[in-house]
Chains A and B, each alone.
Chain A
Amino acid sequence: MILDHLKRAGINLVASLPDQWLGDLIKQCESDPSITHIKLAREDDGVGLCAGAYLGGRKAALICQNSGILVSANALGGIAFHHQIPLLVLAAHRGDFDDNQYYQMYKGRVCEPVLEAMGLPHHVIDGPEQLSLIEDGARQAFLSRLPVVLLLRRRALVGQ
C-alpha cells in the first residue's frame, strides 16, 4: 500500500488535490489517524506546505495529478529548489500510453521535459512492484535537499 511506504519514509503529513486515479490513496490518507491530511485547492500550496513543514522539522508529501507539477513550477523552482528544501511529490502520471482521454494527453507529453528543464529529480513508477521507490525517492529528497517527483502510472495507482 502506498501509504505504508510513505509512513516508512517518515512522512505523516500529506497535502492533496484529487485525481480520478488518486481516489483510493486520498481516502486512505483521510481515514488513517496517524496521518495529517490537508486539503488543497491548488497544487503549489502543497509545495509551500511541505516546505514550511520541513522548516519545522516535519517530513511531508504532496499528492496530486501531474498537471499540478506544471502549476507548481514556480513554487518548485523558487521555493524548494532555491531554498534547498526537500519534499516528496507523488503525482498521477496522466496522459501517457495508459490513459484514455483527449485532454489528459498534453500532461503526459510535457511533464517530464519540464522537470528535466528544471533540473528536478523524478522517477516513473510503473506498477505496484515498484512502490518501494517511494522510500528511495524520499531518501533521495531529504539527503539532496531537493524536491523529488514520483510519477505514478495507472497500474501503480488503480491496478488496471
Chain B
Amino acid sequence: METPNRQSAIGVRQSVALPDAHISAVAVEKSYRKGDHKIPVLRGVDLAVRQGEFISIVGQSGSGKSTLLHLIGLLDGPDVGEIRLESDRIDDLPARSRDELRNRVFGFIFQFYHLLPELSVLENVLTPLMIRYSMFDFWKRRRQLRESARELLDKVGLGHRLTHKPSELSGGEMQRAAIARALIAKPEILLADEPTGNLDSGTGGEIMDLLRTLNQQDGLTIIMVTHDELIAQQAHRSVRLAEGRMAARGEAA
C-alpha cells in the first residue's frame, strides 16, 4: 500500500520529465545533525520550475523552505535525491563546477541583504564578476563591466549611491543593491530567501514590483521563499512546505 505522499511524489517526478522544467528537485531529503540526534528537515520533496516561472515557497519557520532553496542553489548537497538543471543532474558535480554554476546560473538574494561591509555599492555589485574573471581579464574589461554595473544600479534606482558603503544605505536600498549584485552575472534563475522579510510593507512592495518586472521583462526564473501569504500570492504559483514535506497547493491568482 502506498501512502498519498509517495503517490504525489511520483506525480511530481513525472512532471520533472516535462521538457520545459528549468530547474527541479527530485525526492530530496536533508537532515542536520545536532549532537547525536539527526533532525530531518526535508523528507522527500519534489519541485519543478518551468522556464520563466515565478514561484513562491511558503511555510512556517523550520518547515525546511530555506534549506530547499539552498539545495537548489547548490549551497548544500541533499542526503538523498537529485537537483536537476534542465535534465542534467547538478548536485553531484565536482566543487569547482558547482562554484561555477553558482556564479553563472544562480543569483541569490537574502533576507539580510548580505552585502560586504568593506566594499562600496558598486564594488559589491561587481563582486560576482570579480570572482568570475581572473585579475587580468577583469582589468581588461573593467570599463565595460563597471558600465554595466552602473546601468544595473540605475535600473534598480540606486544610480546616485555608487560609492556609498552598505552601512550608509537604508534597508530597501541595500536590498536593491543585493538584487543588482544578483543580476550582474546575468543569471538564469534568481533565488530569493525572504527578500522582503526585513522591510516595511511599502518598501517590500517596491522590491516585489522589481522582481515581477524582472520576471516579466527579462524572463528570469524566480524561486522565492517567504512566510508571508500576501507576498507569496504575487507569484505565478505557490507551493507550501510543512514539516519537510510538500503540501498540496493550487495555482496563485
Do A and B come together as binding partners? no
